Structure 1
Amino acid sequence: MPDSSEPPAAWHAASVPAVLDAFSVDPHRGLSDDEARKRHDEHGPNELVEQQQRTALQILLEQFQNPLVWLLIGAAIVSIFVGELAEVIAILAIVALNAALGFFQDYRAENALALLRDLSAPTAVVLRNGEWRRLPARELAPGDVYQLEAGARCPADGRLVEAAHLQINEASLTGESMPVEKQIEPLDEDTSLAERSNMVFKGSTVSGGRGVAVVTAVGMRSELGRIAELLEGVEREETPLQRRLSKLGRQLTYGALILIALMVVIGLVRQQPLKLVFLTALSMAVAVIPEGLPAAVTVVLAIGTRRMLKRQALVRRLAAIETLGSVTVICTDKTGTLTMGRMAATDVAIGDQDISLSDLASGGHDAAADGVRSLLAAATLCSDAHQPAASSADVDAAASKADNGEGDAAHQGGEPIGDPTEVAIVEAAADVRIDLQSLHERFPRVEEVSFDSDRKRMSTVHKIAEPGDLETFLPLLSSQGGQPGDARLVCCKGSLESVLSVSDRHWTGSDVAAIDEQASRDWNARHDQLASRGFRVLAVGVDVRAGGDWMRSNEGIEQNLILVGLIGLSDPPRSEAKEAVERCHTAGIRPVMITGDHPLTARHIAGEIGIGPADRVLTGRDLAALDDAGLSKAALETSVYARVTPEDKLKIVDALRQHGEVVAMTGDGVNDAPALRKSSVGVAMGITGTDVAKDAADLVLLDDNFASIVAAVGEGRIILGNILRFLKFLLSTNSGELWVMILAILLGMPLPLLPIQILWINLVTDGFPALGLAFENTDRHAMRRPPRAVDAPLLDREMLIDILWIGLLMGIVSLAAGGSLSPSAEDEARWRTMIFSVLTISQLGNALALRSSTEPLWRLGLWTNPLLLVSVVVTAGLQAAVVYVPFLQRTFGTVPLSLRDAILCPLLGLVVYVAVEGVKLWRNRG
């Protein structure tokens, strides 16, 4: 019995007897109850163990671990001491709102590991004491023998000891949607996980057939358990904007503390009343902090989710929207994202021609068309896929379309059902106008030899109903022997090597000839050519014979066939994938393909859509051979990876991020979850994605389309630009408030703004225009320039200079509006109201001017952002209410202004708008 402390053995490389011997188990009796209990106690239950998650209280408390929040709470405490109840309520409301928004975002992100449990089968059919029993899957132990049937979920990792037409869907582990055909023969020790055809893995599902396996690993030692451990070990990191905002928050906090200390010292030196000293310090603290910034960022990102949804991207974590705007590398899966996600027969090799089915003129009767129809008709007959009968209404609709040249009768049935490869063949036959229903009626199946992994082929025998049926459906065989009632059609499909071994003739393009060595070499060369282009290749053989004893044996059926040709099947690229890749290159983004598929397939698809260099493909085996330096170098040079494991994906993402790349990673399977969480932006598939992948991701693509990722990145850039735009707007206002306070103190003026007035500006008159700026969509060149550098400061030199001079101008204009350096006590309320109003109107003009960094407002047009225009009008109306409504006057310390003052305020406020537009024109004069 293997030691549980040892690393997992290469069970796929061991023979069935060796595996049974290693686990000391009889495949006909299984384990005894006592032995199973002993092993269960030693290895633990067959279930995934979750680390303890954060409680709701812990998540809530984490929302207060922010210097800005501490400063606001401090300001609220000071407000209590100076008796400003309105300020206390307003500040605590801000703190509570920000905490609530952060809590609900973080609380949703705690469920990814829990969903892994759902992939574990609740019960399993297990052999104990010579009897098959249905037991809870958690009771399985290494060495248990269990049964697999169609539709069942694999309860534990196991080595197959029996397999009858067994197909397993391992998409949740490998990411590839095609079922894997299983067998029991040993494989090379270095065979990759995706190619271990004699193993089954916990959490995968049985697509067809049946099998028996011996448990090799349970619980956290299974492949699913290893993914769970990887997921637990990956902490979700802050986004670039979150890190920048945190740094800005710390800087503003330190600055506020310095200013507060300075104001207290100045006030005490001037022997000002203690209440005024604290009121001034409180006003300064409130002026420094952009209280509305956290809520504004959250609201803007929430608005961004609606825009993303129109691009088929559902946002699960708001902060991911801004990170999308900085993405430099998109690591994408192949199947279903870059490709259609379903097999299609697109190319055939028949006679001496290689033909693309899309180029073939439908309905033609030349040699090529006859050959293709014969090839696809034979392959369709030799398959178990079928097309359900359509309803009478559907038939009438299809017939009407056919009459109008909009469709054809071949497509009157429903969607074909069956093995994906055979479905692709049936669909191709319908595309060349083969009437599928008539085909099966005219050639009813009378015998068959099922596919198995040893022979690598399937064969069927069909009765030929009427003499003209061959001419109609298989014109290449119309000259062969047989009479009505006696003739039999044999069809065979499988690997070229297999079909060649039972064929003695082939179709040359004009007639049937014997297969000699040269013909065999030619067919193999054509096969290799298709395979090198990423195709799965099937050969098709046929024959027409009189009925006889040959039908009673497999060997009699599968002999002396005519090799008709080859069918190339692939998962073709999406039509929009190439254009999306080109948009990535234009935008300075490097697309990287990471797939569990074969390297040849990966190279072909990458070459078709422009991901490159496609001639350099690294496999999981190649990555395992690299040291850290080699992996780091490979990450910069390689754009195509194939046959990768979950650990490989993590390595690739890690290596890219160590180079400073902002990585978006796509995935759909459980195996993708660790890399989705580790990446800068995790993108899960909405159609094919597992719940685990979706929960670990930041973004879910509703259409599983790579083009939607690129479109989402473009939206992310626009939204990031809008965040930076309203950040500049908010900080310009804070700068204006600070300059008003500083200049007033230096000039010996009274307190120019009350704390409640500053809060009103920061939350209300700032808030509405900031919301309007969030809907700005004037950046037509967002995807024509490189992404914003991840280490770029939030406030670059130009933005910092703008914030300072715009704020200084606001301060000067606002103080000038007061009309006096030392107003009398009776006139102080009017003086303060003028400053308050001009500062508010100045910021509204600034909002209009900041819509674009290059285009003036008159070129953009007032109505190109109607929400901003409405927000400016609403804000002006609210400011007027604060000045003229009596109960608001008492709350905000304002008095009604005369008509002259009311006209003067907007005129002075326009100075800021004119200045900002003038500087913009000067900067872009070239």
Structure 2
Amino acid sequence: MATSTSSGDGKPTTAASGNSATPDQVNLQKADLTSVFATLGTSAKGLTGADAKSRLQKFGPNAITEKEESAWRRFLHYFWGPIPWMIEAAALLSAIIGHWADFAIISVLLLYNAVAGFWQERKASRALAALKAGMAPKAEVLRDGDYQAVDAAEVVPGDIVRVRLGQIVPADVRFIDGDFISIDQAALTGESLPVDKKVGDIGYSGSIAKRGAMSAVVIGTGSNTFFGRTAKLVASAGKGMSHSQRAMTQIGDFLIFFCLLLALILVGYELYHDIVVAKDWHWSSAVDILRLVLVLLIASIPVAMPSVVTVTNALGALALSRKKAIVSRLESIEELAGVDILCTDKTGTLTKNQLTLHEPKLFDAEDADTLIVGAALASEAGSSDPIDCAIAAGVKDPSALRRYTRGDFTPFDPVTKYTLAKVTDADGKALSFAKGAPQAIAKLCALEGDAAKKVEQSVADLAEHGLRALAVSMSANDGDHWSFLGILSLEDPPREDSRETIARAREHGLAVKMITGDDVAIGKEIAEQVGIGTNILNAADVFPKDLNPDHLPQKSIDCVEKVDGFGRVFPEHKYAIVKALQGQHHQVAMTGDGVNDAPALKQADCGIAVSGATDAARAAAAIILTAPGLSTVVDAIDEARRIFVRILNYMLFRVAMTLDIMAVVVIATVFFGFTPLTPVMIVLIALLDDVPIMTIAYDNTREPARPVHWQMHRLLFGAGVLGLFAIAQTVGLLLIGMEWLGNKEWQSWIALSKEQLQTVVFLQIVAGGHLLLFVVRARHAFYAKPWPARPLVVAILGTQVLAVLMCGFGWLVPKIPWAIIGLVWCYMLAWMFVLDVVKRVLYQHLGGAEKSSGETQ
């Protein structure tokens, strides 16, 4: 069966077991064809139908297979974790004590969170499906002496296949017969131009024939091809939790710990009071204790937190779509906000992906125009080849070509390494033009001595600057004597906005690295032009031959972190680069467009498929760009950081308010002997506080200048301090309420019962929570610019009007006098200024700590 290893030059190698050798004994990519045939137990005559059938059973279908976890198991994962446990425990307690309304509301929220997460996960599973779709659906196979069309899945090692213009290579093959074939394997290897193949060369599964036709022997199928190995990397990539998922888990752990601590205090107090003090314990008291624990548990659950984060990210994704960035995985928005290293491909992202002529090297040609016209005459008329298109575009005067009548044309031959065209000029004189590899054209022209050395030096000079060299010659004597006209140089020039975009990225605190499949010289030249740097290395020189991305040598890891980029990169290299940087605690964004980029795109914290990417790249990526170039990435990072800050502000608000509710429940129960909030009130608080805050995605925020990360110790410390003052605010109102209940003069003014005091606390927490959000949404004073966005203000005002009406008319809560509502609002507005001062002092402290520790904002 075909297996994949790695050759010394970093290119994939394949071996297949046959009847006479094991995979370790013969390297089928490098062995001579006689050994290949012997190892595979086949010949140029192909296989019989019976032999092919037995091999299909032995090696399996020529398709990518993977183990998939059932949809039900994936769905059930969303009911496992700190926050789901809290919600499930609350639902169970509600059922035990018969609070069915609470049970229904809590269960619906739990189910909604699971369905929302499961739906997003399903989108990520498209990566392998797209890779499968890239396999050739049909193949021409030599069976029983005749070529026949079969499903590509039925191709087996040892088969003889025929590949012609426009066809997809169905498996990894070695070419055995035919003049030549030109293969576009850019999506697999990142090479920007089609590669010419000859007898003995390898062809990769999934590449496309652009010119010519050849027959080949299959040496690897299915997952044991270069294409299949890429799919294996995709399947194994990106298995860890995202930073946002880890943050949610840590917040859940913190709240669980705090809840359990307060529950122990509450239960201990109740048991002590009933057994020791009152000496009136009955088993019915256990139900009362459970009811109290239920209230505390519901109070501790940020039931709407997953939903708010999901919806906020979804609204943010809509904003990113307007910037030509389509989000396929919502949590990638938060990942993008924290990216500090951007790994970008070259062709089509930093460059135009359009070959153009550079300054030529003239030899016998009178001028550059003569040289270019000669090259155009040596090209096939109407050719779509990138080099021919660049030459045609370089002809300044198209009428110059019309002075010649085209005759015989000989396509590029990988043996001679040039094309040949015969033409007749306006005077009826027969001429021949040839263009191709400089060494081959020099040999055709019989150059020797200084002339030959001049050609070699010119090619070396061009290569040093990352330019491709193409020589042109002319014969006026029917091929008896050839003149070396000169050397054309071709480049894929940088996009006009690339240098400015790289500078913007660095201003945003990003390190940019170029990762390209092209030669190091080409990558170095482009990297210097766009401002990335010139420290570009060959990936094969940095990574070991037996590359294991999960266990890289420290020397390789250090090199990855220091260099400006890599050339001659293969899929396993890109994947290893991402893993190495992540191992050094970097958040990495990787751009790509081909099948070869898919594993790295999926493994990266934020994989970005650039404009024109393949289906496999788009499916593996978290963000898909619909506009060319890299500038869209920087725009998306700006927007992602603003979205992250909005979610961070919500987290501060939500954790502080959750601490407030839990603490007030315990303090009121222990010190005042009554429950300040009913379970229904707590659920209403969650809905009234969180549902309108989904519009926080529209809020106006100051854009962070540096990458932003989840720093849980800072978040929890800040939320704890704000929560402490929120507790003081609520307990202060509770103390006033308890005094009101015992003051006959106040009661004669406005009567107030304990049930009404619960409504007062309810109103204070609902309204005070949103006022706290206005406080924490920015580091500056809450009344300074940028002010809250209109959607957020309208949503919160609507909620507050509803809460006031509920309290004033007694909807779902005990009715309280309108005068009390007014007093509560005056009390909260006064506290709003106090909390704002606390916030600014807190942020100054955290900001100073950040600067001293060197952490990012």
The amino acid that maps onto 2:408 is: E
Cα distance per residue 1:460-508 (max 9 Å; x no partner)? 233334xxxxxxxxxxxxxxxxxx3x2345433222223333448xxxx
**Contact 2:643–2:697 at 8 Å: present in 1 too?**
yes
- Between 833-842 and 266-275, report the one with greater CA deviation: 266-275
Partners of 1:340 and 1:8 in 2: CA distance = 45
Pairing partner for 2:417 from 456, 461, 476:
456
Partners of 2:732 and 2:305 in 1: CA distance = 25
Cα shift at 1:445:
0.9
Pair 1:820 & 2:740 matched = yes
Partners of 1:210 and 1:695 in 2: CA distance = 32
Pairing partner for 1:285 from 286, 297, 301:
297
What is the correspondence of 1:345-744 to structure 2 with a 5 Å cutoff? Answer: 345-350=357-362, 371-384=367-380, 386=382, 418-429=384-395, 432=396, 434=397, 436=398, 438-465=399-426, 484=427, 486-503=428-445, 517-542=449-474, 545=476, 550-551=477-478, 555-556=479-480, 559-563=481-485, 565-612=486-533, 614-624=534-544, 628-689=553-614, 691-744=615-668
Pair 1:183 & 2:183 matched = no
Cα distance per residue 1:615-674 (max 9 Å; x no partner)? 341322541259612222222222311222222222222222221222222222223222
Change (3 A) 1:114 1:4: farther
Counterpart residue number, 1:315: 327
Cα distance per residue 1:769-799 (max 9 Å; x no partner)? x32333234223x2x32x2456654625344
**Contact 1:339–1:572 at 8 Å: present in 2 too?**
yes
Partners of 1:4 and 1:41 in 2: CA distance = 19
Cα distance per residue 1:368-426 (max 9 Å; x no partner)? 9x93333333322322253xxxxxxxxxxxxxxxxxxxxxxxxxxxxxx6001111222
Query: What secondary structure sits across from 1:11 in the alignment?
Result: coil
Partners of 2:204 and 2:843 in 1: CA distance = 62
Q: Which runs of 5+ in 1 are unaligned?
A: 186-197, 353-367, 387-416, 466-483, 505-514
Partners of 2:712 and 2:344 in 1: CA distance = 26
The amino acid that maps onto 2:754 is: E
Query: What secondary structure sits across from 1:270 in the alignment?
Result: helix
Partners of 2:490 and 2:25 in 1: CA distance = 36
Partners of 1:299 and 1:819 in 2: CA distance = 42
Change (3 A) 1:78 1:920: closer
Cα distance per residue 1:885-907 (max 9 Å; x no partner)? 45x2xx2x220423x22321221
Counterpart residue number, 1:403: none
Cα shift at 1:7:
4.4
Counterpart residue number, 1:342: 354
Counterpart residue number, 2:61: 45
**Contact 2:466–2:523 at 8 Å: present in 1 too?**
yes
Partners of 2:218 and 2:262 in 1: CA distance = 69
Cα shift at 1:54:
1.8
Pairing partner for 2:698 from 775, 795, 807:
775
Counterpart residue number, 2:776: 850
Cα shift at 1:909:
1.3
Partners of 1:424 and 1:174 in 2: CA distance = 23
Cα shift at 1:148:
0.7
Pair 1:93 & 2:81 matched = no
**Contact 2:380–2:409 at 8 Å: present in 1 too?**
no
Q: How many residues align?
A: 808
**Contact 2:247–2:712 at 8 Å: present in 1 too?**
no
Change (3 A) 1:688 1:110: closer
The amino acid that maps onto 1:301 is: N
**Contact 1:740–1:812 at 8 Å: present in 2 too?**
no
Pairing partner for 1:761 from 665, 685, 692:
685
**Contact 2:444–2:482 at 8 Å: present in 1 too?**
yes
**Contact 1:542–1:561 at 8 Å: present in 2 too?**
yes
Counterpart residue number, 1:392: none
% identical equivalent positions = 28
**Contact 2:161–2:217 at 8 Å: present in 1 too?**
yes
Change (3 A) 1:861 1:23: closer
Change (3 A) 1:628 1:861: closer
Change (3 A) 1:737 1:571: same
- Deviant stretches of 4+, over 6 Å: 823-826, 923-926
Partners of 1:651 and 1:2 in 2: CA distance = 35
- Between 334-343 and 145-154, report the one with greater CA deviation: 334-343
Cα distance per residue 1:176-222 (max 9 Å; x no partner)? 3422111125xxxxxxxxxxxx1112222211210110111222322
Change (3 A) 1:268 1:43: closer
Query: What secondary structure sits across from 2:198 in the alignment?
Result: coil
**Contact 1:152–1:206 at 8 Å: present in 2 too?**
yes
Query: What secondary structure sits across from 1:49 in the alignment?
Result: coil
Change (3 A) 1:865 1:24: same
**Contact 2:722–2:839 at 8 Å: present in 1 too?**
no
Cα shift at 1:568:
1.8
**Contact 1:599–1:619 at 8 Å: present in 2 too?**
no
CA RMSD of aligned residues (A): 2.9
**Contact 2:163–2:214 at 8 Å: present in 1 too?**
yes
Cα shift at 1:307:
1.9
Pairing partner for 1:263 from 261, 266, 278:
266
Cα distance per residue 1:39-72 (max 9 Å; x no partner)? 4443333333222x12221122111102322222
Counterpart residue number, 1:475: none
Pairing partner for 1:907 from 819, 826, 838:
826
Cα shift at 1:110:
2.6
Cα shift at 1:867:
1.5
Query: What secondary structure sits across from 2:517 in the alignment?
Result: coil
Query: What secondary structure sits across from 2:490 in the alignment?
Result: strand
**Contact 2:170–2:206 at 8 Å: present in 1 too?**
yes
The amino acid that maps onto 1:32 is: T
Partners of 1:735 and 1:6 in 2: CA distance = 63
Partners of 2:539 and 2:664 in 1: CA distance = 63
Partners of 1:579 and 1:348 in 2: CA distance = 28
Partners of 2:24 and 2:833 in 1: CA distance = 72
Query: What secondary structure sits across from 1:57 in the alignment?
Result: helix
Cα shift at 1:99:
1.2
**Contact 2:164–2:209 at 8 Å: present in 1 too?**
yes
Counterpart residue number, 1:358: none
The amino acid that maps onto 1:578 is: R
Cα shift at 1:567:
2.2
**Contact 1:813–1:909 at 8 Å: present in 2 too?**
no
**Contact 2:659–2:720 at 8 Å: present in 1 too?**
no
Change (3 A) 1:128 1:739: closer
Change (3 A) 1:750 1:644: same
Query: What secondary structure sits across from 1:705 in the alignment?
Result: coil
Change (3 A) 1:63 1:8: farther
Change (3 A) 1:790 1:922: closer
